Amino acid sequence: MAHVTREQLDRLLEQALLLDDHGALARQLDVLAQSYETGEVSRAAILVLAAEEWRQSGQPAAALDRFQQAADDGGEAPVDPRAGIADTLFELERPDEAVDMIATIRRAGWTPATALTIAETLAAYGDLNGAHEWATDGVDACPPGLLREALLRTRYRIRIDLGLPEDDLDALLDVSR
C-alpha cells in the first residue's frame, strides 16, 4: 500500500477495534508504515498510531521504538511523538530520561495537543506541579474549541488534586459547559 488515505486507515482501525487485538493492529500499522510512500496521513502519524497500539498490547519497548521512528521521520503527527517517548520512558521506569525529553520539547516548541499529552503524563506519574504548568500553558496557547476544553478539564482536575482554589481559567470551563 504505497498511497495511504484517511479512509483506508480508518477502516483498518475499525476492524482492529472490532477484533480487540492491539498487537495485530500494531503489526498491520508497522507494515503500512514500512510500505508508505505518500498519502493523506504522514508516515509519522502511522508510526504514532502503531506505537500507541504496541503500548496497548503490553509492548512498551516496541512502542518506544515506533515513537522514536516517528520523531526521526519528522512528518506531521497530531501530537509530537517525543511526548509519547516521554510517557513510554516513564512506563519503562526511566523517569530521568522522560523528564529530559519533556524539557527538550519545552525548549523546541510544542502544540496545545502536545501540552495536553504531557500534562496527562506528568499527572499520571505524580508530577502535579509540572502537569499544571503544561496544562495552563496549553490553555493559554489554544484557541476556543474541543482541545481547549480538554485542556481546561485536565487542568481543573490537576488543580483539585493540588488543592488549589478556582481561578479565572477554571471559570472558563464553567462557561463552556
DSSP codes joined into one string, 40-94: SS-HHHHHHHHHHHHHHTT-HHHHHHHHHHHHHH----SS-HHHHHHHHHHHTT-
Architecture of domain 79-177: Alpha Horseshoe (1.25)
* pTM of the shown model: 0.89
Residue 177 pLDDT greater than 60, yes or no: no
Read off the C-alpha cell for 61. 519497548
Q: pLDDT tens for residues 71-128?
A: 999 999 999 999 999 999 999 999 999 999 999 999 999 999 999 999 999 999 999 9
How far apart are the C-alpha atoms of 84 and 3, rounded to whole Å? Answer: 25
CB 105 within 8 A of CB 141: no
Cell numbers given for 106: 519545552
What pLDDT is recorded for position 175? 65
User: What is the residue extent of each domain of the chain?
Assistant: 1-77, 79-177
Q: Tell me how far apart the alpha carbons of residues 109 and 57 are, in angstroms, rounded to a whole number.
A: 31
Higher pLDDT, 6 or 29: 29
